A and B are shown apart, each in its own frame.
Chain A
Amino acid sequence: MQKVISVNKLVKKYGKNNAVKGVSFDVFKGEIFGLLGENGAGKTTTLEMIEGLRKPTSGTINVLECDIRHKLACVKERVGVQLQSSAYYADLTLQEILELFGSFYQKRLPVKKLLKMVDLENKSKSKIGMLSGGQKQRFSIVASLVNDPEIVFLDEPTTGLDPLARRNLWKIISDIKNQGKTIVLTTHYMEEAELLCDRVAIMEKGEILAIDETHKLIEQIDYPYTINFSVAEIKTDLFQKLMKFGEVRNTLAKKHRFELKIKDQKALNGAVKVINQMEPLTLTVGRATLEDVFIELTGKTIAE
């Protein structure tokens, strides 16, 4: 696989505070690579160093085989950047903004095609202030595509959007991937990373805790299966039996609902048998999620 980004021992210090503590990773052509972590984990700082917006304290970054310390201008021609909560000129129309930003590049896509990509053709004469939150975010993504970039950087692209608008944006991001572009995104939404990213790096306090293909990260964890069930009445003897297969926990704030984490297939079968004896009202068996991976790695949940 062709490496399009190569980050090596990247460090960023602000005074005594180490925002990024020597991270290294590669991004391959055509994949969606996610930097996942809490607010303040160092995702945006890392991303902005790759984009050339911040100067690394030490370490090297190669983008499209160019060392960005020396060839940043050449890299800028070939990448697209969407910033966290960035605004655009309030007094220009969407069409004018895209034409203006297009004029900064040697290579540029037709404005009509861009607006069509994010379903905003009928808003071409509108100003940014007239758009909804979801439309603004779609516009800021498409504004990062004006130069038909090889790599697109998206910083928290769905933060603050309602569920429907988020799904809409996921579709757009996967469409961009299908055009053969590489996407690097940051997010603190676990399900977003799980759904979109081919590979993720989980960041915590400026370090990468784990990095792999998303499904492999989930498979590798200690308890890859989860059983959720509810009962009308708690039978103590059967519960004791069940605990041999894994940890049984009361689901938050619900008295008769339980969650059981399971290590392997054999334990799963055994546990299901016991639960069936309890005459459960509901029973679902699921795979662990990226959130479980995160909790296992960091010992906490992500606070939104």
Chain B
Amino acid sequence: MLKLFIANLKMTTRNRQALFWSFMFPLMFTFIFGMFFGKNSMVGTIGIVNNSGSEIAANYEKILKEANIFKIVEFNEIDEAKKEISKNSLSAFVYIPDSFGTMLTQADNTLVVYYDQGNAQIGSVLENFSDKFLSQSNMAISKAQEVFKLRTEKTSSKDLTYFDFVLAGILGLALMNSSIHGIAVGMSKYREDKILKRITTTPIKSWQFVGAEVLSRLVLNFLQIALILVIGVYAFDAHIYGNIAIIFAVSLVGALLFQLIGFVIASFSKTTSAAEGMATAITIPMMFLAGVFFPIDSLPSWLYSVVQYLPLAPLLRIIRGVTLEGTSPFSDLNYVLIVFAWIAASLAISIYRFRLSEE
């Protein structure tokens, strides 16, 4: 069995397609989301046309740059900046007229925010930022007392970003894709090539064969988890608050669940391409509905009431509980129960249906 385990590892490292789906695919997501939402990621690129030499204009520009919300490009003319917007290389820009802040009676003290309707979000962030700056400046000049105040508080005391949320999702996604596809397609291919039949002519027991397959894939999953976490944390400053060992343990339980689903598919599909189709039909909807990229609570309630029971959904909640909050995987037993119910069901079907031999 050890020899088969080692042979399986060798085969996986030699199979480029398997490697792509196991490593490149999730890493692609990590990089894409990391670049948008990870460390130093900025909302977008804006321009500034500062024609004023006043102190308040200089102050505004300084604060805008220090806020580190946008990548800022400087322009001399409005038309230049407008041209960049039309080329889509700029989302918005702010125009500061030359008399702005000069305290002359006929001075134009209006900041103008130009924005691309296609990127209204960035325009509104810039608008809010500028509005706040101007009200504070107005109050300072009129020496008014601030009566009403606003305070915002995070519900979690921890420093968390959207990228942290997505990283846990990508972890689940990677385990799901590589395990379901790997087992379903791998086993169907073995059956089609009569390798399973050939195996049954030897004294090796079915459980030994399946065991070696499952264990070698868990090793692959272990590397997957490590790689995603390392890149997420070191390249994009993801925050992980839970115990690393628990994160690995929970993830591997998830991988096992998805492998079992792979065996269920392999026991029903007659050909490799059928297995591929079935695996895709299961993983793609789950990728979007089980909360990989956004919290499923924001789905319509009728849809939520269904998708919360998909295998990936409770698993992601447990993983996020551990990675983002550092809570115990058992803190909500409902999730644990759903995961184990899926494990029990797919294990039962696999034992009942999956055979190495054709009879």
Which A residues are closer than 8 A to B by beta carbons? Answer: 51-55, 73, 76-77, 81, 83, 85-92, 96, 99-101, 103-106
Given A73-B203, A96-B10, A89 and B4 touching (CB < 8 A)?
no
A–B complex contacts, Cβ < 8 Å, 7 sampled: A53-B197, A85-B194, A86-B195, A88-B195, A92-B10, A100-B4, A100-B7
Query: Would you call B198 and A81 a contact (CB within 8 A)?
Result: yes
B residues contacting the other copy or chain, number (CB 8 A): 20
Give chain A residues whose Cβ lies under 8 Å from the Cβ of B3: 99-100, 103
A73 to B204, CA, bound (A): 9
Give chain B residues whose Cβ lies under 8 Å from the Cβ of A101: 202
How would you classify the secondary structure of chain A's contact residues: helix, strand, loop or mixed?
loop
Query: Would you call A88 and B198 a contact (CB within 8 A)?
Result: yes
Query: Would you call B203 and A86 a contact (CB within 8 A)?
Result: no
Query: Would you call A89 and B203 a contact (CB within 8 A)?
Result: no
Give chain B residues whose Cβ lies under 8 Å from the Cβ of A73: 203
Given A55-B359, A91-B14, A76 and B194 touching (CB < 8 A)?
no
Identify which of B7, B11, B201, B204 gathers the most chain A CB atoms within 10 Å of its CB. Answer: B201
Query: Would you call A91 and B359 a contact (CB within 8 A)?
Result: no
A104 to B197, CA, bound (A): 14
Give chain B residues whose Cβ lies under 8 Å from the Cβ of A81: 198, 201
A54 to B198, CA, bound (A): 13
Query: Would you call A91 and B10 a contact (CB within 8 A)?
Result: yes
Query: Would you call B202 and A83 a contact (CB within 8 A)?
Result: no
Identify which of A53, A54, A85 gathers the most chain B CB atoms within 10 Å of its CB. Answer: A53
Interface positions, chain B 228-287, Cβ under 8 Å from A, are: none
A258 to B212, CA, bound (A): 64
Give chain A residues whose Cβ lies under 8 Å from the Cβ of B10: 91-92, 96
A81 to B4, CA, bound (A): 19
Query: Would you call B11 and A105 a contact (CB within 8 A)?
Result: no
Quick one: CB contact mask for B344-359 with A, threshold 8 Å, 1 for yes? 0000000000000111
Query: Would you call B195 and A89 a contact (CB within 8 A)?
Result: yes
Interface positions, chain B 322-359, Cβ under 8 Å from A, are: 357-359
Given A53-B359, A81-B198, A105 and B7 touching (CB < 8 A)?
no
B157 interfacial by beta-carbon distance below 8 Å = no
Identify which of B4, B202, B204, B357 gathers the most chain A CB atoms within 10 Å of its CB. Answer: B202
> From residue B324, how far is it (CB to closest CB) to chain A in Å?
39
A110 to B107, CA, bound (A): 96
> From residue A257, how far is it (CB to closest CB) to chain B in Å?
44
Given A91-B14, A92-B10, A103-B3, A77 and B203 touching (CB < 8 A)?
yes
A53 to B195, CA, bound (A): 13
Query: Would you call A104 and B202 a contact (CB within 8 A)?
Result: yes
Chain A: which residue is nearest B193 at the CB level?
A87
Give chain A residues whose Cβ lies under 8 Å from the Cβ of B200: 52-53
> From residue A118, how far is it (CB to closest CB) to chain B in Å?
17
Q: Select which of B15, B357, B358 is within 8 A of A91 by beta carbon.
A: B15
A74 to B231, CA, bound (A): 51
A73 to B3, CA, bound (A): 20
A101 to B359, CA, bound (A): 22
Give chain B residues whose Cβ lies under 8 Å from the Cβ of A76: 201-203
Chain B: which residue is nearest A140 at the CB level?
B198
Given A76-B202, A92-B10, A53 and B194 touching (CB < 8 A)?
no
> From residue A296, how far is it (CB to closest CB) to chain B in Å?
35
A86 to B203, CA, bound (A): 18
Give chain A residues whose Cβ lies under 8 Å from the Cβ of B195: 86-89
Chain A: which residue is nearest B1 at the CB level?
A103
Interface positions, chain B 189-222, Cβ under 8 Å from A, are: 193-195, 197-198, 200-204
Query: Would you call B11 and A53 a contact (CB within 8 A)?
Result: no
Query: Would you call B201 and A53 a contact (CB within 8 A)?
Result: yes
Give chain A residues whose Cβ lies under 8 Å from the Cβ of B14: 91
Query: Would you call A91 and B197 a contact (CB within 8 A)?
Result: no
A96 to B6, CA, bound (A): 11
> From residue A35, how far is it (CB to closest CB) to chain B in Å?
17
Quick one: CB contact mask for B298-313 with A, threshold 8 Å, 1 for yes? 0000000000000000
A83 to B198, CA, bound (A): 7
What 6 pairs across the A-B complex have the smallest Cβ distances?
A87-B193, A103-B3, A81-B201, A91-B11, A104-B202, A86-B194
Query: Would you call A103 and B4 a contact (CB within 8 A)?
Result: yes
Query: Would you call B357 and A53 a contact (CB within 8 A)?
Result: yes
Q: Select which of A83, A92, A100, A103 is within 8 A of B197 by beta carbon.
A: A83
Q: Select which of A51, A85, A92, A105 is within 8 A of B203 by beta carbon.
A: A105
Q: Select which of B11, B194, B204 is within 8 A of A104 by beta carbon.
A: B204
